[in-house]
């Protein structure tokens, strides 16, 4: 079962859905059973198309280094079973037990790492990582490593403001634009926030750049109320936003989790909660989220189960 089930309300509502990260929660989540496969997939995708998936141009090096110097100590503290960090003067030694690797480097010295800092760091974690200039008007996206996007790509968004990035999202700028900017302005170092975004997918595949659609479009065919539980997947993005103290940049992390709908609605009440939200998604949002073609069979599946379990089930 996935770690989140973000269907608290009875109806769909477009909301910020942001809350402070709790002390026991971490910015980086290690999903140990999937870690090796997902990190290997990232490496393969970056080899296949590096410039599409990593951008860290001149002027972003400081932001990239600050990401490492903030997150590596936190990861070593929070997951000592997986990671450790030794600091000896300016030299840092990072051990990743999940990968069985050790990396020695000097923060700030580009020549001490084999890759750009954010590109190297992104290969230590399952998250996608995006950096927004925190002191520029509109918070433009200036660097990122993005391997598991849900229908977008780095090249289309780099350099654009946060509102421009969300331009294709129906009703986003009208309903959430001002509050999102207010949130970004108010982010304080050491006080990260988190939110969870959800989608329904017809594939477990993590890398869903728009140009991959022809490879999996056929999976929309033949979904029925009988098979929708296995053929439709709940795709969750656990996101965090952190203000970096020195550069004031904003780090946006996205950890993508995918599982068949059937495995996520076994617990009592969950079929009903998901069905209620799906029934109330506005038509433009359903089309944007690619729910429209699977909505009827998926509701049929959820409702059949509700009848079996009883409405209080
Ligand atoms: C509080 C902050 C944020 C909120 C409330 C928010 C909300 C959303 C929502 C509701 C969607 C539509 C996704 C869906 O319904 O499946 C979306 C899409 C997206 N968001 Fe955000 N987001 C936030 C921050 C960010 C940040 C910091 C970035 C960094 C670049 C970002 C990048 C994107 C992108 C690229 C998309 C897809 C747009 C497309 O389809 O072209 N978001 N966001």
Residues 184 and 162: beta-carbon distance below 8 Å: yes
16 close to ligand 1 (CB < 6 Angstrom): yes
User: pLDDT tens-digit profile of 240-299?
Assistant: 999 999 999 999 999 999 999 999 999 989 999 999 999 999 999 999 999 999 999 999
What is the atom index within ligand 1 of the atom nearest the CA of 237? 16
Q: How far is the CA of 100 from the centre of ligand 1 (A)?
A: 34
- Residue owning the nearest CA to atom 14 of ligand 1: 289
What is the atom index within ligand 1 of the atom nearest the CA of 14? 10
User: pLDDT tens-digit profile of 103-135?
Assistant: 999 999 999 999 999 999 999 999 999 999 999
208 close to ligand 1 (CB < 6 Angstrom): no
Distance CA 293, CA 72 (A): 42
Distance CA 94, CA 85 (A): 5
User: pLDDT tens-digit profile of 168-211?
Assistant: 999 999 999 999 999 999 999 999 999 999 999 999 999 999 99
User: pLDDT tens-digit profile of 57-71?
Assistant: 889 999 999 999 999
Distance CA 122, CA 68 (A): 10
Distance CA 105, CA 23 (A): 29
Q: What is the pLDDT of residue 47?
A: 98
Where do we find the tokens 């996205």? 254
User: pLDDT tens-digit profile of 139-170?
Assistant: 999 999 999 999 999 999 999 999 999 999 99
Mean pLDDT of 22-51: 98
Q: What is the residue-averaged pLDDT of the chain?
A: 96
Catalytic residue positions, numbered? 195
Q: What is the pLDDT of residue 313?
A: 39
- Residue owning the nearest CA to atom 27 of ligand 1: 252
289 close to ligand 1 (CB < 6 Angstrom): yes
Mean pLDDT of 73-102: 98
E strand or H helix that includes residue 272: helix 270-279
Residues 94 and 103: beta-carbon distance below 8 Å: yes
State the pTM of this model. 0.96
Burial of 196 by CB count in 10 Å (0-12 exposed, 13-18 middle, 19+ buried)? middle
Instruction: Tell me which of 130, 192, 197, 199 to substitute to probe ligand 1's pocket, judged by most ligand atoms within 8 Å of the beta carbon.
Output: 197
Q: What is the pLDDT of residue 206?
A: 98
Q: What is the pLDDT of residue 305?
A: 76
203 close to ligand 1 (CB < 6 Angstrom): no
Residue 41 has φ and ψ, to the nearest 5°, of -65, -45
**Furthest-apart CA pair in the chain: how many Å?**
65
130 close to ligand 1 (CB < 6 Angstrom): yes
248 close to ligand 1 (CB < 6 Angstrom): no
133 close to ligand 1 (CB < 6 Angstrom): no
Residues 200 and 246: beta-carbon distance below 8 Å: no
Q: Give the domain ranges of the chain.
A: 19-78+86-308
Q: What is the pLDDT of residue 312?
A: 44
Q: How far is the CA of 163 from the centre of ligand 1 (A)?
A: 9
What is the atom index within ligand 1 of the atom nearest the CA of 156? 41
Q: How far is the CA of 94 from the centre of ligand 1 (A)?
A: 32
Q: What is the pLDDT of residue 255?
A: 98
């Amino acid at each position: 079962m996935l770690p989140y089930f973000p269907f608290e309300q009875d109806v769909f509502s477009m909301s910020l859905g942001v809350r402070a990260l709790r002390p026991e929660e971490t910015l980086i989540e290690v999903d140990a059973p999937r870690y090796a496969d997902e990190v290997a997939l990232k490496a393969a995708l970056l080899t296949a198309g590096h410039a599409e998936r990593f951008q860290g141009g001149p002027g972003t090096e400081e932001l990239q280094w600050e990401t490492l110097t903030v997150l590596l100590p936190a990861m070593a503290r929070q997951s000592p079973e997986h990671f450790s960090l030794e600091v000896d003067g300016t030299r840092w030694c990072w051990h990743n037990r999940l990968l069985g690797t050790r990396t020695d480097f000097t923060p700030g010295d580009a020549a001490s790492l084999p890759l750009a800092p954010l590109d190297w760091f992104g290969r230590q974690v399952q998250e996608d990582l995006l950096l927004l200039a925190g002191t520029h008007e509109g918070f433009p996206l200036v660097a990122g490593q993005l391997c598991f996007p849900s229908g977008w790509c780095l090249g289309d968004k780099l350099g654009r403001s946060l509102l421009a990035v969300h331009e294709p999202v129906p009703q986003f700028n009208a309903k959430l634009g001002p509050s999102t900017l207010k949130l970004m302005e108010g982010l304080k170092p050491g006080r990260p926030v988190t939110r969870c975004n959800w989608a329904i997918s017809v594939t477990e595949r993590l890398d869903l750049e728009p140009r991959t659609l022809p490879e999996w479009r056929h999976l929309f065919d033949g979904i029925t109320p009988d098979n929708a539980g296995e053929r439709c997947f709940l795709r969750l993005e656990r996101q965090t936003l952190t203000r970096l103290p020195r550069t004031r940049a904003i780090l946006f992390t996205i950890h993508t989790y995918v599982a068949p709908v059937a495995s996520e609605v076994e617990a009592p009440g969950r079929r009903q909660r998901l069905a209620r939200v799906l029934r109330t998604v506005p038509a433009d949002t359903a089309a944007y989220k690619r729910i429209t073609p699977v909505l009827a069979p998926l509701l049929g599946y959820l409702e059949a189960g509700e009848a079996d379990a009883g409405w209080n089930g």
